[in-house]
């Protein structure tokens, strides 16, 4: 896509859901991205977690985007995945991360999503939300069961953890394969299985990139739209999402996998010529 493009203003904010934030973000000349390193619900935590992987993927993506700006996003992401995974010995246990990326030039804006982070393109008349639902389609019965238990008031108990461990075990059998879902992990081929959308730059007022913890703000009715996020302020958005989680300590009002998730959002506002 190359370097350069219309004048933009970039804002970013992140907020940990617990003691350790596994989200990452970066932005530069003509590009921005957010990453969400996957949590492990295993009883014994792995040596390398999602945050470890997201650190390496972030560095690799920044290097690729700045050193080879004319390359396709698929090629850039594929090389970054290969580089990030190279320092983990066993592909079967490699941590994973989502990617939500935007690239822009004077002519076009491209958004690229791999995993359950979100990109939104905001125009004067509408919002185009770009999401990847394939991970959420895995093991629907287990998802229904853990959410139903939460809604009935059982809380984030031992049975909840057991259900999440079973869910992750099923996900592992379908990771980065046809009929399953695709994610940044050990396989560079995942890069080509993204969800993407391209629009003319002149149509776009702003672009939002959000990890799933931040995207919950729409589900929690913190604000009615992505456009509202850009006007209310990123830090306020994330704090309000966290406050909803803090009031719902047992997950009965808003069933979810964990009491509080990491939250990261990047907003790119495109300056229109006057």
pLDDT tens-digit readout, 153-196: 999 999 999 999 999 999 999 999 999 999 999 999 999 999 99
Per the structure, the complete domain to which residue 209 belongs is given by 8-133+182-270
CA atoms of 116 and 72, how far apart (whole Å): 22
pLDDT score for 55: 97
Tell the burial category of 76 from Cβ atoms under 10 Å away from its Cβ (0-12, 13-18, 19+).
Answer: buried
Q: Give 58's contacts (C-beta < 8 A, 6+ positions apart).
A: 24, 25, 26, 33, 35
Domain-embedded: residue 150: no
Q: What is residue 29's DSSP assignment?
A: T
Q: How far is CA 210 from the centre of its chain?
A: 6
Q: Is residue 14 part of a domain?
A: yes
CA 21 to chain centre: 13
Rounded CA separation 269/208 (Å): 9
In the predicted model, what is the mean pLDDT of residues 85-103? Answer: 91
In a domain, 91, yes or no: yes
Q: 274 pLDDT band (50/70/90 cuts)?
A: low
Contact present, 165 and 42 (Cβ < 8 Å) = yes
Interval 42-54: pLDDT, tens: 888 878 899 999 9
For residue 158, is it within any domain? no
Q: What are the pLDDT digits (tens) for 208-264? A: 999 999 999 999 999 899 999 888 899 999 999 999 999 999 999 999 999 999 999
Report which of 101, 100, 81 is spatially closest to residue 91, judged by C-alpha positions.
81
Read off the pTM: 0.96
Q: Does 2 map to a domain?
A: no
- In this model, does residue 57 exceed pLDDT 60? yes
First to last CA, the chain: 25
Contact predicate 85/186, CB 8 Å: yes
Q: Which alpha helices (DSSP H) does 13-157 contain, by range?
A: 50-67, 73-85, 140-151
Coil, strand or helix: which one is 12? Answer: strand
Query: Which CATH number fits the domain that encloses residue 42?
Result: 3.60.40.10
Secondary structure class of 124 (helix, strand, coil): coil
Tokens representing residue 189 in the block: 């081929």
168 in a structural domain? no
Q: Which residues contact 233 (CB under 8 A, 6 or more apart)?
A: none
pLDDT, averaged across the chain: 95
The answer to whether position 175 is within a domain reads no
Q: Residues 6 or more apart from 153 whose CB is under 8 A from it? A: 250, 252
Q: Does residue 159 lie within any of the structural domains?
A: no
> What's the structural domain count of the chain?
1
């Amino acid at each position: 896509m190359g370097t350069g493009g219309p004048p933009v203003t970039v804002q970013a904010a992140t907020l940990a859901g617990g003691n350790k934030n596994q989200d990452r973000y970066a932005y530069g000349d003509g590009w921005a991205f957010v990453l969400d390193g996957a949590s492990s619900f295993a009883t014994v935590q792995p040596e390398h977690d999602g945050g470890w992987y997201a650190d390496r993927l972030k560095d690799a993506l920044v290097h690729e985007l700045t050193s080879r700006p004319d390359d396709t996003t698929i090629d850039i992401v594929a090389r970054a995945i290969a580089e990030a995974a190279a320092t983990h010995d066993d592909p079967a246990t490699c941590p994973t991360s989502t990617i939500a990326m935007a690239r822009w030039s004077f002519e076009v804006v491209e958004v690229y999503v791999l995993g359950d982070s979100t990109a939104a393109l905001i125009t004067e008349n509408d919002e185009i939300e770009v999401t990847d639902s394939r991970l959420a389609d895995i093991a629907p019965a287990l998802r229904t069961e853990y959410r139903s238990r939460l809604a009935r008031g059982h809380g984030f108990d031992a049975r909840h953890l057991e259900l999440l461990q079973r869910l992750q075990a099923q996900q592992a059998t379908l990771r980065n394969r046809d009929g399953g879902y695709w994610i940044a992990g050990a396989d560079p081929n995942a890069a080509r299985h993204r969800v993407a959308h391209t629009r003319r730059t002149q149509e776009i007022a702003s672009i939002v990139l959000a990890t799933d913890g931040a995207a919950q703000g729409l589900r929690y009715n913190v604000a009615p739209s992505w456009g509202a996020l850009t006007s209310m302020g990123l830090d306020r958005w994330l704090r309000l999402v966290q406050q909803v989680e803090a009031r719902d300590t047992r997950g009965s009002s808003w069933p979810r996998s964990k009491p509080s998730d990491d939250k990261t959002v990047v907003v790119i506002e495109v300056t229109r010529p006057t």
